């Protein structure tokens, strides 16, 4: 069942309200033995890439688009580094709404672009970065009856907090949660979910070194990192995220692209889990900085590795060419 149905009594939806769902949520939580060994703590991976469009954005989108339908909107729009665009496009298609997405030109991973286009959204490539896109889309929605479904939309956080419920339903308790941070909506949502359930695991957020405004305490004008989903210089949920780190006795820290890519390859090669580079920032952060004495840790893997085949191919081994003869095949396989 979808997450509005599963958690309706903890969400702002009444029985009978329209629900636009692709049966998102209820994603796997798997024990990561190799990562646990390396980190010296018990590590669980929350596989958000298993959502219908391949990222946790579907949790927020089912709520935001259902609310847009409830309010009689005919169109929805967002600024996006990619996954919000893919998710919006799918849920808008499902609801029969028009969808538009504004993405930074040339900066969006191939899989995400393919999804947004296939689902029939209008994809607008802005000659600017994500932060500029968000500013413009907010201005547009002030003047037109279009539903804004960026993480400034409170329904996004409502949907995303359900991941915290799932972790608690399954594990009972945990000491810490490691999570990549871009716009900081997701960490804000997990915090909300944990607070509502009366528990306070320590929240450790990780930003990429070249896009770490929360770590430096100042916006970054030209954010740069291989992890395109967290290439954000001025997070929309800045204050709430900082409050979440402080009040849970956690922290926000930076990891380098090298550390991110190391974790990315390690997860794929030794845990069988293919996530996108931004997602690997949670595990990179755990391996680099530790979790200040926590024993049972959940790392959120926010999106699927297939989203970004280009980065994967640039990081993986080469294929082995082979002539169609048994001797050549023997040599290729066994050599
Ligand atoms: C959106 C996204 C993030 C960042 O989440 P925020 O809520 O913006 O902090 C991280 N990883 C992936 C794969 C994403 O799509």
pLDDT tens-digit map of 225-241: 999 999 999 999 999 99
Q: Measured in angstroms, how far is the CA atom of residue 278 from the centroid of ligand 1?
A: 7
- What integer pLDDT is reported at residue 25 of this predicted model? 98
Residue 221 to residue 239: CA distance in whole angstroms? 18
Q: Measured in angstroms, how far is the CA atom of residue 184 from the centroid of ligand 1?
A: 8
Q: Is 316 annotated as a binding-site member?
A: no
Which runs of consecutive H residues, i.e. helices, occur in the chain? 3-6, 33-39, 57-70, 83-95, 110-118, 130-143, 154-160, 162-171, 185-196, 213-216, 238-247, 257-271, 277-289, 309-315, 326-334
Q: Measured in angstroms, how far is the CA atom of residue 305 from the centroid of ligand 1?
A: 14
Tokens found for residue 80: 């996006």
- What integer pLDDT is reported at residue 227 of this predicted model? 96
- What integer pLDDT is reported at residue 104 of this predicted model? 85
Strand ordering across the sheet containing 122-126: 122-126, 98-104, 75-79, 147-148
CB of 230 sitting under 6 A from ligand 1: yes
pLDDT tens-digit map of 96-155: 999 999 988 887 899 999 999 999 999 999 998 888 888 999 999 989 889 999 888 999
CB of 183 sitting under 6 A from ligand 1: yes
Look over the chain and give the mean of its residue pLDDT values, rounded to a whole number. Answer: 96
- What integer pLDDT is reported at residue 161 of this predicted model? 98
- What integer pLDDT is reported at residue 314 of this predicted model? 93
- What integer pLDDT is reported at residue 81 of this predicted model? 84
Domain ranges of the chain: 3-55+157-315, 57-154
The minimum-distance atom of ligand 1 relative to the CA of 232 is 8
The minimum-distance atom of ligand 1 relative to the CA of 278 is 11
Q: Is 288 annotated as a binding-site member?
A: no
Residue 45 to residue 335: CA distance in whole angstroms? 35
Q: How many CB atoms lie within 10 A of CB 243?
A: 13
What lies within 8 Å, CB to CB, of 327 at 6+ separation is none
Residue 95 to residue 93: CA distance in whole angstroms? 5
Instruction: Confirm whether 3-55+157-315 and 57-154 share one CATH topology.
Output: yes
- What integer pLDDT is reported at residue 306 of this predicted model? 97
CB of 185 sitting under 6 A from ligand 1: yes
Residue located nearest, by CA, to atom 1 of ligand 1: 229
Residue 272: pLDDT band with limits 50, 70, 90:
very high
Q: Is 51 annotated as a binding-site member?
A: no
In the predicted model, what is the mean pLDDT of residues 244-250?
98
CB of 55 sitting under 6 A from ligand 1: yes
pLDDT tens-digit map of 250-261: 999 999 999 999
pLDDT at 23 over 90: yes
Residue 255 to residue 212: CA distance in whole angstroms? 9
Residue 197: pLDDT band with limits 50, 70, 90:
very high
CB of 229 sitting under 6 A from ligand 1: yes
CB of 41 sitting under 6 A from ligand 1: no
CA distances for 325 relative to 320, 334, 335, angstroms = 14, 14, 15
CB of 180 sitting under 6 A from ligand 1: yes
Tokens found for residue 202: 């320590």
Residues for the chain: how many in total? 335
Q: How many CB atoms lie within 10 A of CB 92?
A: 30
pLDDT tens-digit map of 291-307: 999 999 999 999 999 99
SS3 5: helix
Residue range 57-154 forms a domain whose CATH class is alpha beta
- What integer pLDDT is reported at residue 335 of this predicted model? 85
Residue 155 to residue 159: CA distance in whole angstroms? 6
pLDDT tens-digit map of 58-92: 999 999 999 999 999 989 999 988 999 999 999 99
Give the fold, CATH level 3, of 3-55+157-315.
Rossmann fold (3.40.50)
pLDDT tens-digit map of 164-180: 999 999 999 999 999 99
Q: Measured in angstroms, how far is the CA atom of residue 187 from the centroid of ligand 1?
A: 9
pLDDT at 279 over 90: yes
């Amino acid at each position: 069942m979808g997450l509005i149905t599963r958690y309706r009594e903890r969400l702002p939806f009444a029985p009978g309200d329209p629900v636009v769902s692709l049966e998102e949520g209820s994603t796997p939580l798997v024990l990561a033995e190799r990562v646990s060994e390396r980190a010296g703590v018990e590590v669980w991976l929350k596989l958000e890439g298993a959502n219908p469009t391949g990222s946790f954005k579907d949790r927020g989108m089912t709520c935001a688009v259902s609310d847009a339908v409830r309010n009689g909107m005919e169109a929805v729009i967002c600024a996006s580094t990619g996954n919000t665009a893919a998710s919006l496009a799918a849920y808008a298609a499902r609801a029969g709404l028009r969808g538009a997405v504004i993405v930074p030109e040339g900066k969006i991973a191939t899989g995400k672009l393919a999804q947004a286009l296939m689902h029939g959204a209008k994809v607008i490539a802005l000659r600017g970065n994500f932060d500029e896109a968000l500013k413009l889309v907010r201005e547009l929605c002030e003047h037109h009856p279009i539903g804004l479904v960026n993480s400034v939309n409170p329904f996004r956080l409502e949907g995303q907090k359900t991941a915290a419920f799932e972790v608690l339903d399954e594990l009972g308790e945990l000491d810490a949660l490691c999570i990549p941070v871009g716009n900081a909506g997701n960490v804000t949502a997990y915090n909300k979910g944990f607070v509502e359930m009366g528990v306070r695991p320590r929240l450790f957020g990780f930003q990429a070194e070249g896009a770490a405004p929360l770590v430096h305490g100042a916006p970054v004008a030209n954010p740069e990192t291989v992890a395109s989903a967290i290439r954000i210089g001025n997070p929309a949920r800045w204050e709430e995220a900082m409050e979440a780190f402080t009040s849970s006795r956690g922290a926000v820290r930076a990891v380098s692209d090298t550390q991110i890519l190391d974790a990315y390859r390690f997860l794929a090669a030794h845990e069988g889990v293919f996530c996108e580079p931004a997602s690997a920032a949670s595990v990179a952060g755990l391996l680099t900085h530790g979790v200040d004495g926590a024993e049972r840790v959940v790392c959120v893997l926010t999106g699927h590795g297939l989203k970004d085949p280009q980065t994967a191919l640039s990081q993986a081994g080469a294929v082995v060419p082979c002539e169609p003869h048994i001797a050549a095949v023997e040599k290729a396989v066994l050599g």
